[in-house]
Amino acid sequence: MDFSLTPEQEMTQRMVREFAEKEAAPTIKEYDRAQRVNWEILPRMAELGLLGICIPARYGGAGMDYICLGLACEELERVDTSLRVVMSVHVGLNSLGLLQWGTEEQKQRWLVPQAKGERYAAYALTEPGAGSDVVAIAATARREGDVYVLNGEKMWISLATVAHDFLVFAKTDPYADPPHRGITAFMVEREMAGVTTGDIHGKMGVRAGSTGWISMQDVEVPVENRIGEEGEGFKIAMSCLDNGRYTVAAGATGLIRASLEASVKYARERRTFGQEIGRHQLIQQMIARMSRDYEMARLLYLRAGYLKNIGRRNTRETSMAKWFATEASFAAASDAVQIHGAYGYSDEYDVERYLRNAKGACIYEGTSQIHELIQAGYALGYRRDKPLRREMPPYDPQEWQ
Domains of the chain (ranges, CATH numbers): 7-120 (1.10.540.10), 123-233 (2.40.110.10), 235-400 (1.20.140.10)
> Are the C-beta atoms of 315 and 242 separated by less than 8 Å?
yes
Rounded distance between C-alpha atoms, residue 277 and residue 274, angstroms: 9
Give 375's contacts (C-beta < 8 A, 6+ positions apart).
316, 319, 320, 323
Question: Which residue is catalytic, options 21, 352, 365, 391?
Answer: 365
φ/ψ region of 122 (left if φ > 0, alpha if ψ in -120 to 50, else beta) reads: beta
Phi, psi of 124 (to 5 degrees): -120, 90
98-130 tens-digit pLDDT: 999 999 999 999 999 999 999 999 999 999 999
3-22 tens-digit pLDDT: 899 999 999 999 999 999 99
pLDDT band at 27 (very low <50, low <70, confident <90, very high): very high
Rounded distance between C-alpha atoms, residue 126 and residue 104, angstroms: 28
Predicted model pTM? 0.97
> Are the C-beta atoms of 74 and 251 separated by less than 8 Å?
yes
Return the pLDDT at 233: 98
Instruction: Tell me whether the omega of the peptide bond preceding residue 26 falls within 30 degrees of 0, making it cis.
Output: no
Q: Count, in order, helices (H) and strands (E) of the chain.
A: 14, 10
pLDDT greater than 80 at residue 1: no
The reply to whether 23 belongs to the active site is no
Return the pLDDT at 209: 96
